[in-house]
Copies of this chain bind each other. A is one copy, B any other.
Amino acid sequence: MSERAIGIFDSGVGGLTVFKEVLRQLPGEEYLYLGDTGRVPYGTKSPRTVLRYALEAAAFLHARQVKALVVACNTASAVALEAIEEHYRVPVIGVIEPGARKAVGVTRNRRIGVIGTEGTVKSGAYTRAIHRLDPGVEVIAAACPLFVPLAEEGWADHAVARLAAAEYLAPLQQAGIDTLVLGCTHYPLLKQTLRALLGEAVILVDSAEETARCLTLLLDEGSLRRISAPRPPRFYVTDVPTRFERVGGAFLGADLTGVEQIELDGGGDVIVPLKSAGANRSELI
């Protein structure tokens, strides 16, 4: 058992869709959630820059003695997970591996679609994770850069979203996918639009549920569950909290209050291992 908190971070509000599911499966824990709203989004930035930001976020949470770290951001998971694991002794969970595992488990025709940010898709992280589990699966990936602003605009079910989705997903439909990985934490908000476009035959895979299950297993394996009464979650952001509270409420499905603004940059105490596996894997963008 461990009374320490669990740290979760994302570039902004998107990770709250993961946190919501974590909270549902593990309501007895204490959580520190960090959204790097001062530098959001990560999805259009280079792997090197995302790596630096992700390490700064991990350093902030690690300094608060978390017992586990959840990288609730696909782009950061794609380019920084290994580097974070190398840096810190606590268990680290990303969202790519759980999503890939679930997709491989449910596909019948072994044609899996993956949608995500430019950074996530260019990293090839999902394709690699899926092929590690089953090299025979065909993976068709598409970047959908407008989905994040559409979700944040509250236009997830708008005609503009339907038109953009039809455009982005046409090659995946033509390829005959039967499973679609929502490879960005904002995308679960577009489920209705995607469902209407793709029909019931295509299974939508949201990493949140599987990531929360992984976290549960990990706490159980390490006997790290909290015994005392749960504490309310604490939220940290790097821009003023007003927008995070407003937009984030829709993502979490609950009111966000008491959000605290902190600084990640300028500390100068984070060593960015530019030669780590995460950075060198591909100089993508």
Contacts and interface: CB of A to CB of B under 8 A. Distances in A.
Question: Of residues A160, A266, A268, which shows the largest number of chain B Cβ atoms within 10 Å of its Cβ?
Answer: A160
A285 B49 CA distance: 26
Interface centre among A49, A148, A267 (most CB of B within 10 A): A49
B146 A242 contact: no
Given A160-B167, A266-B265, A266-B267, A49 B38 contact: yes
A167 B267 CA distance: 43
A243 B119 CA distance: 11
A283 B149 contact: no
| Copies of this chain, whole number | 2
Given A159-B163, A160-B164, A163-B163, A46 B145 contact: no
Given A46-B240, A265-B265, A266-B266, 20 more contacts: A38-B45, A45-B243, A46-B239, A46-B242, A49-B238, A145-B152, A145-B153, A146-B146, A146-B149, A146-B150, A146-B160, A148-B149, A158-B167, A160-B163, A163-B163, A242-B283, A242-B285, A243-B285, A266-B268, A268-B268
Interface in A72-107: none
Interface string A216-257: 000000000000000000000011101100000000000000
A186 interface: no
A132 B45 CA distance: 39
Interface in A39-64: 39-40, 44-46, 48-49
A153 B265 CA distance: 29
